[in-house]
Amino acid sequence: MNKALFLDRDGTLIFDKDYLADPAKVELIPGVADGLRRARNLGYRLFLFTNQSGIGRGYHPLADAEACNRRMIELLKLGGDLFTAICIAPEAPDQPSDYRKPSPRFILEMIAEHDLDPAHCWIVGDRESDLLAGVNAHIHPVAVCTGKYDRATWVKVAPAGTGIFDDFTAFAATLA
């Protein structure tokens, strides 16, 4: 069985810029590339799992979110095959959705498809919905303080059992 990280994008890997649609505005959070490199070198499969409600709200098309993903991958300089799979949930919060976090559907599908061991899988994010997707899929939730919440807020709102880290790099340093 394989181990994996499910990674939110905005506020986790790149700075959160509301309804990001312009690839020129993609900005990596410092240290993310090193953390991803470490995880990959340790044998973790990496999955990008991002809610992009700007699409469902009509602010921009799916192609813009995909272009921002390509730009992020380019900036990371870790190869175009960095992510085993990418899930973009385009729905707005009030629209019906199968994949929008906190739905665990993408995670569960990837566990089955890639023979992943849930005991060795984590979801890393900056919002409660990210962590709840992991909890709902029975994998480990990890909160980072580079997006919506700081540590003091996470301590109050994080689901039980959540690891709280200053950033993705600090979490990646704990991987074995």
Per-residue pLDDT at 87:
98
d(CA 129, CA 9): 13
Nearest to 85 by CA among 63, 102, 105: 105
Question: What is the per-residue pLDDT for 176?
Answer: 96
3-state secondary structure of 72: helix
67 burial level (CB within 10 Å; 0-12, 13-18, 19+): middle
| Distance in angstroms (rounded) separating the CA atoms of residues 97 and 46 | 23
Q: If we measure between CA atoms, which residue out of 3, 109, 80, 93 comes closest to residue 54?
A: 93
DSSP lists the bridge partners of residue 10 as 14
Q: What is the mean pLDDT of each run of 10 residues along the chain (176 residues)?
A: 98 97 98 98 98 98 98 98 98 96 98 98 98 98 97 97 98 98
Q: Where are the domains of the chain?
A: 2-172
In the three-class reduction of DSSP (H, G, I as helix; E, B as strand; rest coil), residue 125 is classed as strand
Which CATH number fits the domain 2-172, given the four candidates 3.40.50.300, 2.60.40.10, 3.40.50.1000, 3.30.2290.10?
Answer: 3.40.50.1000
Catalytic residues: 8, 10
